[in-house]
Amino acid sequence: MTTFGSTAALRATMDAYFRDVGAAAEQHLAPVAWCTSVGPAELLRALGFRVFFPENHAAMMGAARTANRYMPLAHAHGYSQEICSYLTSDIGAYLAGESPMQAYGLSGTPRADVLVFNTNQCRDVRDWFEWYGRRWNVPVVGMRSPRAIETVRDDDVDAIARQIEALVPALEAVAGTRLDAGRLEHAVRASRECSDLWEACLRTAARRPAPLNFFDATIHMGPAVVLRGADEAVTYYRTLLAELEGRAAARSAAVEGEAFRLYWDGMPIWGRLRALSSLFAEFRTAVVASTYCNSWIFSALDPADPVRSMARSSLELFIVRSEEAKEDYIARMLDLYHADGIVFHDCRTCPNNTNTRYGMPRRLGERLGIPTLVLDGDVNDLRCVSDEQMRTNVEGFIEQIADARPAAGSAAS
């Protein structure tokens, strides 16, 4: 994986975030809200909550390769091995009394005063939050989203906007304050600026050679996830963007000798980020873009119309869209990033963020005349990952792309 000068700023930003939310919970300095990764974070920040994202917490355990130690504890409490391994990792770690947060001087995950979900991702997040709601006897509120949307219509936006507005009284009661329109506008403006800067960072990988790849981006996306709506995220991405633009101008490659470019669809395999980064680099292949990292781009956010723009952003999210809309999006990304092929991650315990099971790889391959590869794995459960099989499949896939190039050149001549 690439070494960036801004990594020190990233660590400082994330360290300050974790310590702040932890201190708020342990010292009762501010109310704490748990929020799903694409829930109404701007609304929570406007009300003065410190916001904690358990999906980020679970990803930390996946990256540290500790998740498999905790999941059996959740399974023993009746949670299936087939459901979200983020959920079972997180609940299992809580039952074990352990957490990556302890590295930041905290006793564990910060206790929530309220848990706020959005089912635009999946039903699992609601079940996840309701477990803690019962455990701590605190309110669980949220938004229930339509799925498989072809075109986002105004009536869809109206429905979600009404749900956001309906959250306000319950959240005000927990926060002990009234929602201030100016604070909400500020949070949405910060979120939009963060989104625009993050998009600009990712777009630098459209250059040849790419100055960063997917594996780098999964690390540097941290502030876009946990500090959406906060000024600290904006500050960080200004720093990162300046470095990436400098790297692009200097033709400094994330993958030395870049020869092939791929697009990644689906979740990261957190416990194999470094191994996969090294594997693709071995074959001079840059994974230049991904559905996952682009999911934290919210171009519809508008501080002049905060609630409706939050609702529209929630519905435009890739995971909420129909198969046709998803395929059109991936086709645009392939063209933008000049990708030679697509890697689909079939994530065992995350069917909602897996696009391999209803024929999409074959349809896109035939439509675009581009090779596709499906890798079996999981976000956190490393029992679903075979390193040997991944190496064999990746090597064969790159050979397929390389072998097609002379043939394409011959046909063109």
Q: In the predicted model, what is the mean pLDDT of residues 246-266?
A: 98
**Residue 413: pLDDT band by 50, 70, 90 thresholds?**
very low
pLDDT of residue 314: 96
Which tens digit of pLDDT belongs to each residue from 311-359?
999 999 999 999 999 999 999 999 999 999 999 999 999 999 999 999 9
Q: Is 409 part of a structural domain of the chain?
A: no
Share of the chain above pLDDT 70, in %: 98
- What pLDDT, on the 0 to 100 scale, is given for residue 406? 67
User: Confidence class of residue 146 from pLDDT cuts 50, 70 and 90?
Assistant: very high
Q: What is the pLDDT of residue 382?
A: 98
Residue written as tokens 């781009």? 297
pLDDT at residue 411 tops 50: no
Q: To the nearest whole number, what is the mean pLDDT of the chain?
A: 96
Q: In what order do the strands lie in the sheet with 372-377?
A: 285-290, 260-265, 341-347, 372-377
For the chain, report the end-to-end CA distance as a whole number of angstroms. 38
In SS3 terms, 66-127 reads as CHHHHHHHHHHCCCCCCCCHHHHHHHHHHHHCCCHHHHHCCCCCCCCCEEEEECCCCCHHHH
Report the 3 state secondary structure along 175-187: HCCCCCHHHHHHH
pLDDT band at 405 (very low <50, low <70, confident <90, very high): confident
* C-alpha to C-alpha distance for 303 and 374, rounded to whole angstroms: 40
Give the pLDDT confidence of 199-237 residue by residue, as tens digits.
999 999 999 999 999 999 999 999 999 999 999 999 999
User: In the chain, how long is the greatest CA-to-CA distance?
Assistant: 72
Q: Are residues 82 and 122 in contact, defined by beta-carbon separation less than 8 angstroms?
A: no
DSSP-derived pairing of the beta strands 140-143 and 285-290: unpaired
Whole-angstrom distance, CA of residue 7 vs CA of residue 89: 27
| Number of domains into which the chain is organized | 1
Give the model's pLDDT for residue 407: 52
Surface-to-core class of residue 136, CB atoms within 10 Å of its CB (0-12 exposed, 13-18 middle, 19+ buried):
middle
CATH number of the CATH domain containing 264 = 3.40.50.11900
- Please tell me the predicted confidence (pLDDT) of residue 102: 93
272, two tokens = 């194999």
> Average pLDDT, stretch 267-287?
98
The predicted model gives 68-81 an average pLDDT of: 97
- The whole-angstrom separation of Cα 86 and Cα 272 is 15
pLDDT for residue 409: 42
Burial 363-381 (b: 16+ CB within 10 A, else e): ebeeebebbbbbbbbbbbb
**Is the pLDDT assigned to residue 180 strictly greater than 90?**
yes
Which phi and psi angles does 196 have, rounded to 5°?
Answer: -65, -40
- For residue 149, the model assigns a pLDDT of 96
Of 224, 370, 222, 210, residue with least CA distance to 288: 210
Whether residue 109 has pLDDT greater than 50:
yes
Of 76-80, 368-372, 406-410, give the lowest mean pLDDT range: 406-410
- DSSP, collapsed to helix, strand or coil, labels residue 11 as helix
- CA 158, 163, 168, 169 dihedral sign is positive
Instruction: Say if 316 falls within a structural domain.
Output: yes
* 62-76: average pLDDT: 98
Tens-place pLDDT, residues 353-362:
999 999 999 9
pLDDT > 90 in the chain, percent: 96
Please give the DSSP secondary-structure letter assigned to residue 229: T
Residue 412 pLDDT: 34
- In angstroms, the CA 76 to CA 95 distance is 11
Q: What is the DSSP letter of 287?
A: E
410 has pLDDT over 90: no
pTM above 0.85, yes or no: yes
Q: Which amino acid is at 124?
A: D
Task: Determine contact, residues 86/37, Cβ cutoff 8 Å.
Answer: no
By CB atoms closer than 10 A (0-12, 13-18, 19+), residue 332 is exposed
CA distance 189 to 179: 16
- Is 413 contained in some domain? no
Residue 382 structural domain: 7-404
Contact 263, 289 (CB under 8 A): yes
Choose among 201, 278, 284: nearest CA to 247.
Answer: 201
Q: Which residues pair with 143 in a beta bridge?
A: 118
